[in-house]
Amino acid sequence: MRGHTVLSGDSIVVGDGAAVILLAPATRVIVRRDTQVSFQRERDGSAMAFLARGDMSFSHYGSEPEIGVRTGNVTIRPASHRRTRGIVTIRDGALTIAAASGSVRVEGTDQPMEIPEGKAVQFQSGGGTTGGTPGTPAPTAASGPNWGKLVVCGLAE
């Protein structure tokens, strides 16, 4: 609902349309249609978005990366202090992570990786629930899929 404050532990489900969440003056999250995400304030003061299903993006323009996205065994953060816009999508058993501007760091897979601007990677579900099939329970950060099998792809405009 417009004008509400998102608190640590809150969950947002967007059916139609989109929600824009301002986490700090320099940090913005956009949650799109058919998406479920919850938020938590970390001990270091940063915010973590737990994506269960759907499509979201995060923008960070400050001097410190204060936003992260987690789903299953994967954590995505801005890779540097540069202006960053990352896109994270879970659809049809696949996790796609893209760097629309700046670069994003992906951790929790075999080796941490940095995705440069204009590039994307896709992971296939390696177990757990996918959340992409109707009637399948949505994954949570703890019970979500273990993302495995990496496919490198380009970023479509």
- Pair 39, 9: CB distance under 8 Å: yes
Assigned CATH topology for domain 11-154: Jelly Rolls (2.60.120)
Q: Is 15 exposed, middle or buried (0-12, 13-18, 19+ CB in 10 A)?
A: exposed
- Strand duo 94-101 + 67-71: pairing: unpaired
Rounded distance, CA 120 to CA 39, Å? 24
Q: What is the pLDDT of residues 43-95, one digit of tens each?
A: 887 889 999 999 999 998 876 658 899 998 899 999 987 889 999 999 988 89
Quick one: what percent of the chain has pLDDT higher than 70? 76
- 18-31 mean pLDDT: 87
User: The whole model's pTM is what?
Assistant: 0.79
